[in-house]
Amino acid sequence: MFIQQSQELKEKLAILADAAKYDVACTSSGVERRGRPGQLGNTAFAGICHSFSADGRCISLLKILYTNHCIYDCRYCINRRSNDVPRASFTPDEICRLTMEFYRRNYIEGLFLSSGVYKNPDYTMDLLYQTLWKLRFEYGFNGYIHIKAIPGTDPLLIEQVGLLADRMSVNLELPTAEGLRTLAPSKTRERILSPMRQIQQGIAARQRGIVPRMRQDRSVPQTWAGQFVPAGQSTQMIVGATPENDYQMISVAEALYRNYGLKRVFYSAFVRVNEDSLLPVLPGGPPLLREHRLYQADWLLRYYGFTAGELLTERQPNFNIFLDPKCDWALRHLELFPVEVMTADYGTLLRVPGVGVKSAKRIVAARRAGRLEFADLKKMGVVLKRAVCFLTCGGRMMYPMRMDQDTISAQLLGEERRRAWDISSTDSYRQMSMFHDGFLSPAPTEEDRSGALYGQM
């Protein structure tokens, strides 16, 4: 009996983890909360990854769906109504038990709970709410919880769920309204944006000290200090399912950061899981390099003070395959370079390719005490291969170099082209061969000719 039960749970876990894996958000960052005596768990501001799956993505949270039954028929989604896939649903107790036991063993940092839409959005959201309530107050779980807000849910329900979760997210899925109309006919942009706006306003109110009251029909432990979505909200966009270009994608991301106060926008390279005439065919596999470039640009927007309009324009709407967005920007603005390490301000240093947030901070701290050489920069984590083209130390470049686009791009490309190739063709190692790489093509001998004639090779 016991074994039968556990097998059932195992099957469910397999089905509902499979169904949830295309959601990329798996961060446990944004909130620092100490443990509570007698309860299980705390949270770390920077987040903690606990494992990495075979695709190299981090596993931080127990990422599952409550159920993969769904009333919608979104064309890109594996759980669409018309798909013939095994369906399953957890019970709240099963989810609580899995979370608690995995967490105790240090497998996970918390729970990421999403769901297919079962019956209607309100009904599904209420199931998620019941689960979170149980987990927080019956099981005493104090770790990280990320929960999806289902578009079309009653605002009151979202408010109550937000009091129990650390992070909430509503998936934008497709950056434009047309894309959404084609691929997800039952979702509209308004229905997605309205819960996003509500969560933003809730967070803003919390920052001013106004927290909504919890439902009073059940007793809440005195120790629980209700916080509305303390780790902020995030969203996700699918890359490459619809014909939007990179400029549109990052403009949307920028608008979300600015107008909706999002913590993160995630990009998910489209994986063709369904056969559908409206979905693009991607013979080269998911557009991983494009996704990579979008993430690079996303970091530039959030931490490096760039704007979408600086990185791309209407005339140049897509990222360079061979150069990362920062190098590409620097090459188009050679008039600003080279920059002197000893005098440039922090913001300028951040814009130099090869210099990151940490290394820029280290440079600023170190140069107060004395001169810096290129060798010192390397110790501070600057990637000299890129930075040498754009930096001077004490008025000198590392070696004489012509400041023109051709010279510098040739210098940068050597490294970048190899890395771009690594990403776009993973796992296809090939040994260099004298015969195939054009170093040597031996003339055919007499035997080769006769062999070709008789069909013997």
Partner 1 sequence: MTVFVCSDSFEGILCGVYDAWTSRLGHDNVRLELENTGDLRMFAEYRRTEETPGKAAKVIGAIRKKAGQEVYERLYHASLSCEEQKADLIYRFLIYAFHVGPKVTGLLQVPAVYELFRLNRFVSREAQHMIEFVRFSQTDGGILFGEVAPVNDVIVLMAPHFADRLNAENWMICDVKRKKAVIHRRMGGWAVVDLPDDSFREKLKASADQTEFECLWKTFHEHIAIRERTNPRCQMNHLPLRFRPYMTEFKRNGSENN
Q: State the residues that interact with partner 1 by CB under 8 A.
A: 3, 6-7, 9-10, 13-14, 17-18, 20-22, 34-35, 37-42, 48-59, 62-63, 98, 101-102, 104-107, 143, 269, 271, 285-286, 288, 362, 365-366, 368-373, 376, 379-380, 422, 426-427
**Which of 370, 438 has the CB closer to partner 1?**
370
**Which of 188, 424 has the CB closer to partner 1?**
424
Cα Rg of the chain (Å, integer) = 26
**Which of 285, 395 has the CB closer to partner 1?**
285
Q: Are 32 and 76 in contact (CB under 8 A)?
A: no
Q: Are 260 and 199 in contact (CB under 8 A)?
A: no
**Which of 14, 71 has the CB closer to partner 1?**
14
Query: d(Cα 158, Cα 164) in Å, to the nearest integer?
Result: 10
Q: Are 330 and 275 in contact (CB under 8 A)?
A: no
State the minimum distance, in angstroms, from the CB of residue 219 to partner 1: 21
State the minimum distance, in angstroms, from the CB of residue 44 to partner 1: 8
State the minimum distance, in angstroms, from the CB of residue 104 to partner 1: 6
Query: d(Cα 327, Cα 293) in Å, to the nearest integer?
Result: 12
**Which of 105, 213 has the CB closer to partner 1?**
105
State the minimum distance, in angstroms, from the CB of residue 29 to partner 1: 13
**Bond prior to 442 in cis (omega within 30° of 0):** no
Q: How many CA atoms lie within 13 A of 388 on its CB side?
A: 16
CA dihedral 48, 79, 195, 140 (to 10 degrees): -40
State the minimum distance, in angstroms, from the CB of residue 349 to partner 1: 15
**Which of 38, 438 has the CB closer to partner 1?**
38
State the minimum distance, in angstroms, from the CB of residue 48 to partner 1: 6
State the minimum distance, in angstroms, from the CB of residue 445 to partner 1: 41
**Which of 56, 442 has the CB closer to partner 1?**
56
State the minimum distance, in angstroms, from the CB of residue 100 to partner 1: 10
State the minimum distance, in angstroms, from the CB of residue 99 to partner 1: 11
State the minimum distance, in angstroms, from the CB of residue 11 to partner 1: 9
State the minimum distance, in angstroms, from the CB of residue 229 to partner 1: 22
Query: d(Cα 111, Cα 103) in Å, to the nearest integer?
Result: 9
**Which of 199, 237 has the CB closer to partner 1?**
237
**Which of 116, 151 has the CB closer to partner 1?**
116
**Which of 220, 380 has the CB closer to partner 1?**
380
Q: State both tokens at 275.
A: 């056969």
**Which of 308, 372 has the CB closer to partner 1?**
372
